[in-house]
Amino acid sequence: MAKNRTFNRRNILIIIVVILLAATGLTGKLVYLIIFKTEDYAARAKALHERERPIKAERGSIYDINGVEIATNKPVCTISVIHSQIKEPERVIKVLSEELGLSEAAVRKRVEKYTSIERIKSNVNKEIADRIREYKLDGVMVDEDYKRYYPYGSLASKVIGFTGSDNQGVIGLEVKYEDYLKGINGTILTLTTAYGVEIENAAEDRITPQPGNDLYLSLDVNIQKYAEQAAYKVMEAKSADNVKLIVMNPKNGELYAMVNAPEFDLNNPYNLINEIARDYIGETLSSEKLHELLNGMWRNACISDTYEPGSAFKIVTSTAAFEEDVLKLDDRFFCPGYKRVEDRIIRCHKAGGHGSQSFVEGIKNSCNPVFMEVGARVGVEKTYEYYKKLGLFSRTGVDIPGEANSIMHNIDNIGAVELATMAFGQSFQITPLQLLTAASAIINGGTLVTPHFGIEIRSPEGRTVKTLKYDTTENVVSKETSETMKQLLEAVVTDGTGRRAYLPGFRVGGKTATSEKLPRRTGKYISSFIGFAPADDPQVIALVLIDEPVGIYYGGTIAAPVIADLFDNILPYMGIEAKYTEEELKKYQVGTFVVPDFIGKTKKEMKDLLKIYDFGDIYSLGDGDIVTEQFPLPGDSVNRESGLVLYY
């Protein structure tokens, strides 16, 4: 009996001790929670009863070199629904589908979805959003938002790029400088019950969004307009597939313009342009095909596509030869119209040949046999050494995404034939911007620059956040060779294949090119011209490529005038004044007459008409009897003694 009482006392004692220990532990835990974790659990409780709605940050603007705004924002709204707060679902569905132009099925799917908040539509015009507000629909949220807007529509579309529905950059500068432009989104915090119902008269917390920084470019809206005007003019006249035109400062790599005609509308980037859509009229495009066409439309071919540069590349071949001291200006060459290299006969563009000529005459005539000989003198290893120095084995580093690299022979696979064709710009491929960058180094005294658009990042208040820097490499070409090349290329314009780029009062240098596209013998060409001015101290360099022109396709005939037209507009705009020589003052009366329309005239009629006008050299091409094309084009203003090309 006594033994049982002792046992019971022990059990009771154990239970009491356990209870005391548990009570002590719980009391300690309670003290810890009340004293040390109060703020944390208060924040958790608040978060449980708060609903977050994002406030988009205003994206930074993009400005040209003169401070002209070329990408900005328009105030729009985002319409969302909160399922737990909707009292009249059918009315909400009806109103939103009618006002937003959506199907009732699509709206119903979102309205009936059990989520804390469901977006119905973004980028809604303020007028429509204000009408929706007036319905005072429970559970329908109308939040302020921003939509990217481009005041100049299609201007420089493939350079500037555009943003998606989430206001993030998709292509071009918009995506390259995304981290600077995007800003930091804010939040609206609304108190709700445990069931997610908004508490009436409860104050909202608001985390204010921070707007993005602004981007300032070297692009000049006016030069871009002039360049696009010149590109579209020749594209129409020649029924070309497309025209590319780049304008750059050769001294520092600042890009003033970059045209990829036809451009697309930045405010409607998912609408196919007419030039593409017309080929698919009546067809229902699959999503894959549409995506393919849109990517092609957005593609910046100036940096993403490669091509054989043709005779414009003779600038590089000449430079390498002068640097290696294997060429003199008065060296003599003979051109019978072709050159035999191993088992191949490679022809000159002039069927009968140029005969005996100095190198100066050879470059003015753009004679292929001359440059095949010059390339052979330089040799394979030295040729590639100068390609590398001039940046032709690497991307230029331009600040636009999607840049391609050159396609070159493996040095071990280059024989005499390959070396010969490379000397005049065939059998390898580079991008237009690579050629422009290499040519800039050749004429600017020997400094390889990085082409670029971005200049500076500024805060919304105008404070400089970052000045953008770019790499340069000096002495890739000697100053002596640079001076020689400037003089030679000016001679090409004053008295060679590039004379249709001649501008009285301005010293222009340049080089023509006519490249046959691959595969050969399809009759498809790229006509191009690279030009710079003033020739003695280049302030601007430009390259135009006319892809698949119809009819006359020679670079000197149709591409050189494009650069002349461009320079005629932008040189005075840039503050470069015309300085006429005595000879020019006597010979030219600048802009004295408008070119008549000769299309449809017979050879007999033209013989009489040409007695009336003060044209200089007149070139008649083709075997027909009726004029089908002419350059300059009808309506162009030209100088007295300007050349005229007629195609019969």
Report the C-alpha gap between 54 and 206 in whole angstroms: 10
Give the relative orientation of helices 314-323 and 432-443 as an angle to the nearest 10 degrees: 40
pLDDT band at 2 (very low <50, low <70, confident <90, very high): low
Q: Indicate the range of 120-129, 305-314, 450-459 predicted with least confidence.
A: 120-129
613 vs 400, residue with greater confidence:
400
Q: Quick one: what percent of the chain has pLDDT higher than 70?
A: 92
Handedness of CA 220, 223, 229, 234 (dihedral sign): negative
Average pLDDT over residues 157-169: 93
Q: How far is CA 366 from CA 52, 390, 454, in A?
A: 69, 22, 37
Q: Indicate the range of 218-222, 301-305, 508-512, 608-612 predicted with least confidence.
A: 608-612
Q: Indicate the range of 54-58, 247-251, 498-502, 545-549 predicted with least confidence.
A: 54-58
Average pLDDT over residues 481-494: 98
Report the pLDDT value the prediction gives residue 376, as an integer from 0 to 100.
97
Average pLDDT over residues 523-546: 97
Helical residues (DSSP H) of 324-465, grouped into ranges: 359-365, 368-378, 380-389, 416-423, 432-443
Cα within 13 Å of Cα(240), Cβ side = 28
Report the pLDDT value the prediction gives residue 335, as an integer from 0 to 100.
96
Residue 534, preceding peptide bond in cis (omega within 30° of 0): yes
Report the pLDDT value the prediction gives residue 241, as an integer from 0 to 100.
96
Average pLDDT over residues 409-438: 97
**pLDDT at 648 > cutoff 70:** yes
**pLDDT at 167 > cutoff 70:** yes
Contacts of 279 (CB under 8 A, 6+ apart): none
Locus of tokens 């919304």: 460
Q: Indicate the range of 7-16, 198-207, 487-496 predicted with least confidence.
A: 198-207
Hey, what are 371's tokens? 């440059």
How many separate helices (H) and strands (E) can be counted in the chain?
22, 24
Average pLDDT over residues 384-408: 98
Average pLDDT over residues 182-211: 68
pLDDT band at 31 (very low <50, low <70, confident <90, very high): confident
Report the pLDDT value the prediction gives residue 329, as an integer from 0 to 100.
96
CB atoms within 10 A of CB 423: 29
Q: Indicate the range of 34-38, 285-289, 424-428, 627-631 predicted with least confidence.
A: 34-38
Average pLDDT over residues 442-461: 97
Average pLDDT over residues 495-521: 94
CB 301 within 8 Å of CB 231: no
Dihedral of the alpha carbons of 25, 29, 34, 35, in degrees to the nearest 10: 90
Average pLDDT over residues 332-339: 96
pLDDT in tens, 359-387: 999 999 999 999 999 999 999 999 999 99
Q: How far is CA 307 from CA 411, 545, 615, in A?
A: 19, 10, 35
pLDDT in tens, 317-328: 999 999 999 999
Which H helix or E strand runs over 493? helix 479-495
pLDDT band at 48 (very low <50, low <70, confident <90, very high): very low
Average pLDDT over residues 113-133: 87
**pLDDT at 303 > cutoff 90:** yes
- Which of 223, 213, 188 lies closest to 202, judged by CA? 188
Report the pLDDT value the prediction gives residue 588, as an integer from 0 to 100.
67
Average pLDDT over residues 483-510: 96
Report the pLDDT value the prediction gives residue 460, as an integer from 0 to 100.
94
**pLDDT at 52 > cutoff 70:** no
Hey, what are 644's tokens? 């005229």
Q: Indicate the range of 16-30, 522-536, 580-594 predicted with least confidence.
A: 580-594
Report the pLDDT value the prediction gives residue 191, as an integer from 0 to 100.
59
- Which of 462, 470, 459, 461 lies closest to 180, judged by CA? 459
Report the C-alpha gap between 12 and 190 in whole angstroms: 54
Provide the β-strand partners of residue 191: 50
Q: Is 311 a catalytic residue?
A: yes
Task: Indicate which residue of 154, 218, 304, 311 is catalytic.
Answer: 311
**How does the average pLDDT of the chain come out, rounded?**
90
pTM: 0.83
**pLDDT at 534 > cutoff 50:** yes
Q: How far is CA 290 from CA 64, 271, 285, 295, 544, in A?
A: 32, 10, 6, 9, 29
Q: Quick one: what percent of the chain has pLDDT higher than 90?
A: 67
> What's the angle, vertex CA 347, arms to CA 646 and CA 357, rounded to 5?
80
**pLDDT at 356 > cutoff 70:** yes
Report the pLDDT value the prediction gives residue 498, as an integer from 0 to 100.
96
Report the C-alpha gap between 8 and 583 in whole angstroms: 131
**pLDDT at 40 > cutoff 80:** no
SS3 14: helix
